[in-house]
Structure 1
């Protein structure tokens, strides 16, 4: 509560882990080491006919040394538990106090509207290739390279090996009109043909990925117009080990085998 989400979990599952599996935001800056106190929750006791369960405080594991140490050093209000240390032992209705939600996470799903100079590494180049001529002893690939060089100024073109066996059939399927996908970025010494399509293909998309400490955002963008076609975001799964990078580094140092301490 108050999200109303519910689920089934094995006995011994930390309340914090159960909340995260349900997609319920419970803040935990320290990564589950019971030092920040941000993950406080409380148990709503009673018979909940709607959920067909009886919730009680003793359906959580007894207060352990981590919670006692935190209560001694800081203030842990009566009836509150640290969800990173409290383990599920039975049916429960858990309340996430709103005074503990200081930095509720927002997953960005829309790209900021601002002007960005379009300079993609992949360019879609439409060309019309000369048909075979007995008086010009050039192969299909050579004539394709010549057309690209003449129309788009891409000289000394490299070709991906997987394309070479298919150049002849693609040219004929497109009736000698094809669209070449040319890759060249600032670090490339030579342009490279990475794909070839029969006829005119005026679609090309790329993904912009923002991997942050708390969220991961992906934007599908048109390489031709620069328009953002779709966006999506999700929580960074590493957040379970701490909301800041130093907490995650500390977790790795304390758990070199990669397993999370449950005590």
Structure 2
């Protein structure tokens, strides 16, 4: 991935091979290899696209819209042909829960060419809406608490790790959380919560700006989507 400056387009061989993706309304953009999931591109650029299920196409929170046309200001020609067709997971989600016209799940949609991508604000369930008549401002959201769904390995006599340790392993593997702390009252509940959720669990993780270590503040069996 290569982040582009606002007025910087370097047409090297590498940049021709790697499509340019522009996220709106943030205006952040960068070049990514063909086949990169849109959600992954957003995360690498620091664009907030909400997701709970960890790219399993089950929560539906990571919806995006692809804009079509020639965006001369940004030197991008964006087209629906520049994004992959819906795969089995996305089709299953659409059949069961429905997707508005023009919406895609960014965890399943793959970058095939230059794109202008809108992040609809109605998909950010916990976002605060501020309305002012005189001016409009884009306020990027950086929630203190993030919901993260993982599927934890079942106990294995050949891998002597406890339930909490296996939970931490999956939170690091799927979400990148390291050195996690956990609220003391949750420790005796981990075993029962994991079994109630059939080894799937949603962890609410708090990022305290005054602490270098993130904190598990709540656990829910299965996928908690709101």
TM-score (norm: length of structure 1): 0.44
- Return closer, same or farther for 1:78/1:29 CA change in 2, 3 Å cut-off: same
Contact 1:3–1:24, Cα closer than 8 Å, also in 2: yes
CA distance in 2, matches of 1:27, 1:247: 18
Residue aligning to 1:11? 34
- 1:29-71 deviations in whole A, cap 9, x for unaligned? 1111001111110101110111111000110011111111111
Residue aligning to 1:99? 122
Q: Is residue 2:208 matched to residue 1:217?
A: yes
Partner secondary structure for residue 99 of structure 1: helix
Q: Is residue 2:88 matched to residue 1:65?
A: yes
Q: CA deviation at 1:103?
A: 2.3
Q: CA deviation at 1:216?
A: 3.1
Unaligned runs of 5+ in 1: 109-208, 220-231, 237-243, 249-263
- Return closer, same or farther for 1:245/1:3 CA change in 2, 3 Å cut-off: farther
Structure 1 residue ranges, 4+ long, deviating more than 4 angstroms after superposition: 209-213, 244-248
- Return closer, same or farther for 1:233/1:91 CA change in 2, 3 Å cut-off: farther
- 1:198-231 deviations in whole A, cap 9, x for unaligned? xxxxxxxxxxx98584443353xxxxxxxxxxxx
CA distance in 2, matches of 1:245, 1:7: 36
Residue aligning to 1:206? none
Alignment of 1:127-142 (within 5 A): none
Compare CA radii of gyration and give the structure with the larger one. 1
CA distance in 1, matches of 2:63, 2:25: 14
- Return closer, same or farther for 1:233/1:10 CA change in 2, 3 Å cut-off: farther
CA distance in 2, matches of 1:76, 1:35: 12
Contact 1:43–1:93, Cα closer than 8 Å, also in 2: yes
Q: 2:53 aligns with which of 30, 50, 65?
A: 30
CA distance in 1, matches of 2:181, 2:39: 23
Q: CA deviation at 1:21?
A: 0.8
Aligned length: 130
Alignment of 1:50-129 (within 5 A): 50-104=73-127, 106-107=142-143
Unaligned runs of 5+ in 2: 1-23, 128-140, 145-178, 183-203
CA distance in 1, matches of 2:112, 2:69: 16
- Return closer, same or farther for 1:74/1:6 CA change in 2, 3 Å cut-off: same
CA-atom RMSD, angstroms? 3.0
Partner secondary structure for residue 207 of structure 2: strand
Contact 1:215–1:233, Cα closer than 8 Å, also in 2: no
CA distance in 1, matches of 2:102, 2:34: 21
